[in-house]
Structure formats: C-alpha cells, structure tokens
Amino acid sequence: MILMNDFRAEPTELIQQEIAAVEKVIKSGWYILGNQVKTFESAWASRCQVKYAVGVGNGMDAIEIGLRALNIGSGDEVITTSMTAFATVLAIIRAGATPVLADINPATALLDPLSAERCFSSHTRAVLLVHLYGQVRKMDTWITLCNNAGIHLLEDCAQSHLASWKDKIAGSFGAWGAYSFYPTKNLGTVGDGGAIITNLAEIANRAKILRNYGQSQRYHHSELGLNSRLDEMHAAILATRISWSDLFTARRKEIAKSYFDGIKNPLIHLLAEPIDNGNHVYHLFVILCKERDRLSNYLKEHGVDNLVHYPIPVHHQPPCRNIRRDTKGLAIAESHAVRCLSIPCHPQMSDKDVCKVIEVINEFK
C-alpha cells in the first residue's frame, strides 16, 4: 500500500539525529521549559522571519492562547472557515469567543472574502484564516479587508509550514500565526507540539504566561492560564527536523507537479495550481470527484491509501449546528466535503510510487 505518511521510511540519518537529540535531553536532566525549547523557539522564529516564537502543547492550544493573548473572548466574534480541522473552531470556542462560519472558494477550498464580509457584525474582532492543504494565496485582500474593518488578521498555519506569499512566511501577515507539530504535519514531532509566532512582544510575553498556568513569575499567577508547554524532548526533535524541512517540502512540491502533469481523467478535477507569488507546500494533495467514496474504495483496492479532509464541514458537527454563518449558506463547503479526496503526497514517496498513483487514478472509470 502506498501510504498517506510513512515515517518508518524516513532517512536513517534523520532517525539517528532524532535519537541523539532525545538522548541529550534525557541525560541533561531538564525536561520542561529549558534550553531546548528556547533554542527551537529562536530557530523557528528566524525560519519564519518573525521576532518571536512561543512553543506550546499543540496547534489547537496555540490558537486558543493566541486569541486570549489578544483579549478576544466572551462576546467577541471570530470569522473562520467551515472547511477546516475541527480544532480551529474548537479553539475559538475554548477561548470563550464565538466562531462565525464563512464559505470557501471552490477552486482552492480557502475562505472566500465576500462570504467573510457577509459575516461581519459589530462584535467581529478577527478573521482566522486557515492556509488549508499548505496554500497561502492573495494575502493583500485579507490585509486590506481586516485593516478597513479595524479587526485582527490571524492565521492557522497547522498545514502550511514555511508556505509563503511574496516571500513572507505563513503566520507573519497579521497579529500571530498558530502552528501545530503533530506528527503528520509538514514539520512534526513524535507526539504533540505547537507554537505561536508573532512580531509583537506583548503577544509573545502573554503567550508565555498563558501556557504556564497564567504564571507571570514563579508562584505568581496574574491570570488563569493553561498547562500547554512544548517540552524539551519534542523541542529537541523539532530543532533537528527543521534542517530537513526544505528538502522535504521540495519533494512534496515535486510530487504535486507530477500529479498536475500526469493526472488526466474526466471524472477527476484538481484544485487550482499555486499562484505565481504563492509558495504552496502541499501538506495535502486534494482531488475532487463526484463519486468520491467509490474512488476512495477503488484506490485502496489498488494499493493507494487515501483520506478525506474533511468529510463533514464544521457547521454539520452536532455541537456546532447553531453557529452563526453566512446568510447565503455554506453550499460550497458542503459540496467540497462530499467530493474531496486526499491522495498520498509525502516526502518519502519514490518516483515509482508517484507513477503508480497517477496510473491507478487515470484508470478509474
């Protein structure tokens, strides 16, 4: 089976570097909030071309902490997409704020600015963009829209590590960007991890307090925070993996290019290709098919694993059915959910694997 991810096929050299990193942490005798976290935070900040990165427990907490650091909470609305990981919306709710859901563009599955505008109210405090599947597109539209409305532009970058638009890295366009280092993400660890990146010192400082029980100095709790710390072991592993990320991203992009060149089947549509100034990092390669479930089973029978991101839009999840949304409805998110299919696109795939995926897809009738 050609898998969606294959960590066991990673280069031996990388695995050895990770084991050495873990050994160093164990032998150091210091496991939470130490030098490894500091080193990783400054490496990740510099890689993202921002001033600060703050390591946290996971991507969902990164969003919650980011919102709380801006004092966005009870009575405040945050506009986001219904076609995202549930964590995006759950984080808004956990921060005490109210999510409002807008529709997507059918060619990219990214938030549609016109739909987002229809969701504005006097309570709107922010737009939380999700750079879904690894794509960052036309950020000027969002910067203008948020500036004109006097609200924050926020970025969920859990799928867009080192993606960029006009050479600016995902997460650096607005007040902050939230990253996840869940194993399958483009930069991932062997467990949970996350980070907030920002150019604003107040947000970085507030995030450091919030991740550690709201503790401003030892045993002094200035507010009610969380326990959400990136630990030393994951920080050490992530620091090791940063140096592999350009190579891995380049491979993902190469595979995507082969798919664009090779997939030719009238039953299957591809999402839009990246725009000239946009660096799409292909966390996922998503295809569209009216008979998605039949295609999914067919691919599995022919040795090609696949997944759906996402089969149920957030507004159809039971706890979220009453969330306010675009008055015109979320029809595009709904139709995307029944058609989208993610096919293998990970750095350890061989050229032979890529050819096989293309061949099997092209033979689907």
Ligand X SMILES: *Cc1c(COP(=O)(O)O)cnc(C)c1O
Residues in contact with ligand X by CB under 6 A are: 58-60, 84-85, 87-88, 130, 156, 158-159, 180, 182, 192, 194
Q: At what angle do helices 86-94 and 59-69 cross, to 10 degrees?
A: 40
Report in angstroms how near the CB of residue 59 gets to ligand X at its nearest.
3
Structure token pair of residue 29: 């005798």
Report in angstroms how near the CB of residue 237 gets to ligand X at its nearest.
15
Report in angstroms how near the CB of residue 319 gets to ligand X at its nearest.
17
Structure token pair of residue 144: 């203008």
Nearer to ligand X, 17 or 160 (CB): 160
DSSP 112: P
Report in angstroms how near the CB of residue 77 gets to ligand X at its nearest.
19
Nearer to ligand X, 189 or 258 (CB): 189
Nearer to ligand X, 152 or 309 (CB): 309
Nearest to 21 by CA among 47, 42, 40, 41: 40
Nearer to ligand X, 111 or 354 (CB): 111
Nearer to ligand X, 85 or 289 (CB): 85
Nearer to ligand X, 72 or 358 (CB): 72
Report in angstroms how near the CB of residue 161 gets to ligand X at its nearest.
11
Rounded CA-CA distance 93/316 in Å is 16
Structure token pair of residue 239: 């620091």
Alpha carbon distances (Å) from 217 to 214, 221, 222: 9, 7, 9
Structure token pair of residue 133: 């599947």
Instruction: Give the three-state DSSP class for 168.
Output: strand
Report in angstroms how near the CB of residue 95 gets to ligand X at its nearest.
14
Nearer to ligand X, 131 or 358 (CB): 131
Token pair 């993202």 is at which residue?
48
CB of 252 closer than 8 Å to CB of 346: yes
Nearer to ligand X, 85 or 95 (CB): 85
CB of 230 closer than 8 Å to CB of 193: yes
H or E segment and range at residue 363: none
Report in angstroms how near the CB of residue 81 gets to ligand X at its nearest.
9
Rounded CA-CA distance 31/296 in Å is 43
Rounded CA-CA distance 231/179 in Å is 15
Give the CB-nearest residue to ligand X. Answer: 59
Report in angstroms how near the CB of residue 16 gets to ligand X at its nearest.
26
**End-to-end CA separation in angstroms for the chain:** 21
